[in-house]
Amino acid sequence: MIRPFCVDIAGWCLLLVLLATPLMADDSLYAGQGPLDPGTPDTDAALLQALDEVLVRLTGEVDAPLREQLGLDLREARSLVQSQQRVRVPLVDEQGEIDLALRLQVEFNASALDERLADAALPRLGRERPDLLLWIAIEDDQGVRLSDLELLNTVFSEQARRLGLDVLQPLGDAFDLAEVSANDVRGGFLGAGDSALQRYQADIPLMLDLRQIQPGVWAARWFWRIDGRDRSLNLRADSPAALVSDGMEAVLGSLADRYAVTPDSLGPRRQLVVVAPINDESQYAEVLSHLEELSMVDSVRVLAARERSIDFELILRSGGLDDALSLGGLLEVQSTLQDGRLALTFTQ
């Protein structure tokens, strides 16, 4: 059960969640959703919108006509479908109430879609994505309202799913409140949450300062930091939901600028890695599975085993291996050896 935790500081309410769990759903990156009218459902239009959603999630390009760029008309889009089903999902309606909406959920063929993106030389975000640690401050004409958290969580969960983002919210315990205040969020003081990043094993701090300027007018200031560089965005809209959607799209765009990779024009390339120490068969199986699942890895082969170290050969379809290993959370690059091998060890 998720419950709100609010602290009123000079009229500000810092909204925290008691369970630090990701807001992103477990849906595949290649499963999108398109809206359906219960009375006259247009499944073709919903299928195309589901594909648009997946393409945005994979590239970070929100406004680009990606389907047209890839030559994916309805017939081509249908050829990429692996499965589809009708689902009902909780959404916030125009009156600010939570309602269930009918969607067509479509899972597309990952390898075929990746090949389309590669043929078009479009940079792609892999499965390895940074965890975002989100702090929210809110103020409106009614002061602190506990129901806001439920509505915001619904909005954030939907946008995290739509954009393929992993969003964590702090526990809101004494440790958090001693480090980050509502005024820190209001001012975008991202450094206040450095200790929290380590505590929650998150990668990027994200702050949202949300205020009602007048009835029907909301303002938001977003703050986030990637590789030590602070970024911000000021927005106005008629609802908090629109501010969340636009802000998270901007964050996704920043992540794509930093982490998206283009397939190598020279084709697959070979990278050798050595992992040590590997103490038992369980660790070996964990390492092998992890390497095989990295987004840029086509194949993995064991070349040698000595004492507690194992040499692997990776065939890569693109760059970004160091970033993927860093974000994957299991293995850490210690050094590049003189023969070009990457020396990896388990993260602590």
What is the pLDDT at residue 169?
86
> Are the CB atoms for 134 and 200 separated by under 8 Å?
no
> Are the CB atoms for 220 and 247 separated by under 8 Å?
yes
What is the pLDDT at residue 98?
80
What is the pLDDT at residue 152?
82
Cα torsion through 337, 339, 341, 346, rounded to 10: -30
What is the 8-class DSSP label of residue 284?
H
Give me the residue label for tokens 């507690």: 308
Q: Which residues in 111-147 are b (16+ Cβ under 10 Å) and which e?
A: eebbebbbeeebbbbbebbbbbbbbbbbbbeeebeee
What is the pLDDT at residue 97?
75
> Are the CB atoms for 185 and 192 separated by under 8 Å?
no
Between helices 110-119 and 43-59, what is the axis angle to 10°? Answer: 60
Residue 205: helix, strand or coil by DSSP? strand
Domains in the chain, CATH or no CATH each: 4-25+127-259 (3.30.160.100), 31-119 (no CATH), 269-346 (3.30.70)
Q: Report which of 81, 84, 75 is spatially closest to residue 109, judged by C-alpha positions.
A: 81
Phi, psi of 133 (to 5 degrees): -100, 115
CB-count burial class (<10 Å; 0-12, 13-18, 19+) for 291: buried
Q: What is the Cα–Cα distance from 136 to 153, expressed in whole angstroms?
A: 11
User: Can you count the helices (H) and strands (E) in the chain?
Assistant: 11, 16
Residue 300: helix, strand or coil by DSSP? strand
Q: What is the pLDDT of residues 112-154, one digit of tens each?
A: 999 899 889 899 999 899 999 999 988 877 664 434 556 788 8
**pTM for this entry:** 0.83
What is the pLDDT at residue 199?
92
Name residue 149's amino acid.
L
**Structure token pair of residue 174:** 């004494």
Phi, psi of 159 (to 5 degrees): -70, -35
Give me the residue label for tokens 């993927």: 324
What is the pLDDT at residue 258?
94
What is the pLDDT at residue 215?
85
DSSP H or E stretch at residue 128: none
What is the pLDDT at residue 220?
95
Q: What is the Cα–Cα distance from 96 to 7, expressed in whole angstroms?
A: 23
What is the pLDDT at residue 24?
47
SS3 content of the chain, % helix, strand, coil (to 5): 35, 35, 30
Cis peptide leading into residue 90 (ω within 30°):
no
Cα distance from N-terminal residue to C-terminal residue, the chain: 31
> Are the CB atoms for 342 and 272 separated by under 8 Å?
yes
Tens digit of each residue's pLDDT, the chain (348 residues): 233 333 333 333 343 333 344 444 444 899 999 999 988 889 999 999 999 999 999 999 998 899 999 999 999 999 999 999 999 998 876 666 788 999 999 999 998 999 899 889 899 999 899 999 999 988 877 664 434 556 788 889 999 999 999 999 888 777 887 888 888 998 999 999 999 999 999 999 999 999 998 888 999 999 999 999 999 999 999 988 899 999 999 999 999 999 998 877 656 789 999 999 998 999 999 999 999 999 889 899 999 998 899 999 999 988 889 999 988 889 999 999 999 999 999 886
Sign of CA pseudo-dihedral 316, 320, 325, 328: negative
Q: Report which of 139, 137, 136, 146 is spatially closest to residue 214, judged by C-alpha positions.
A: 139
Give me the residue label for tokens 């389907």: 67
Sign of CA pseudo-dihedral 40, 43, 46, 50: positive
Q: What is the Cα–Cα distance from 144 to 348, expressed in whole angstroms?
A: 40
Region for 196 from its dihedrals, namely left if φ exceeds 0, alpha if ψ lies in -120 to 50, beta otherwise: alpha
